[in-house]
Amino acid sequence: MTLPYERTRAVIQTGDFLHEIVQNLELPATVRDQAHRLLRHYPSKSDMHRAGLIEERSADVLLAPVFASSVEAN
């Protein structure tokens, strides 16, 4: 089972990976362009942390947070 902080970390690391793809001139332009298009609406690190804070503050017993405000285990 994936925990909210693990999911948050994975989303942030995926964004970092897409940024690396965009900057890697050894990759085909079509691959870099696709990564760039995906990043246009991809959540930033601060977006992810804000989403985690909102979910943690509004979590109830029936619906646990999907994301966390930290990428570290509490």
Which structure tokens are listed for 14? 């995926």
Percentage of residues of the chain with pLDDT beyond 90: 64
In a domain, 69, yes or no: no
Question: Which residues touch 39 (CB under 8 Å, ≥6 apart)?
Answer: 15, 18, 19, 22
Residue 74 pLDDT: 65
**According to the model, what pLDDT value does residue 61 have?**
59
**Spatial contact of 12 and 72, defined as CB atoms under 8 Å apart:** no
- When the pLDDT of each residue in the chain is averaged and rounded to a whole number, the result is 91
| Ramachandran assignment for 64, one of left (phi > 0), alpha (psi -120 to 50 degrees), beta (any other) | beta
Confidence of residue 36 (pLDDT cuts 50, 70, 90): very high
Whole domain around residue 9: which residue ranges? 4-58
The mean pLDDT value for 17-36 works out to: 98
Whether residue 27 is contained in a domain is answered as yes
Looking up tokens 């001139």, which residue turns up? 25
Residue 63 is assigned to a structural domain of this protein:
no
> Which stretches within the chain are classed as H helix?
4-23, 29-39, 45-58
Reported as a single tens digit per residue, the pLDDT across 38-69 is 999 999 999 999 999 988 888 665 677 888 88
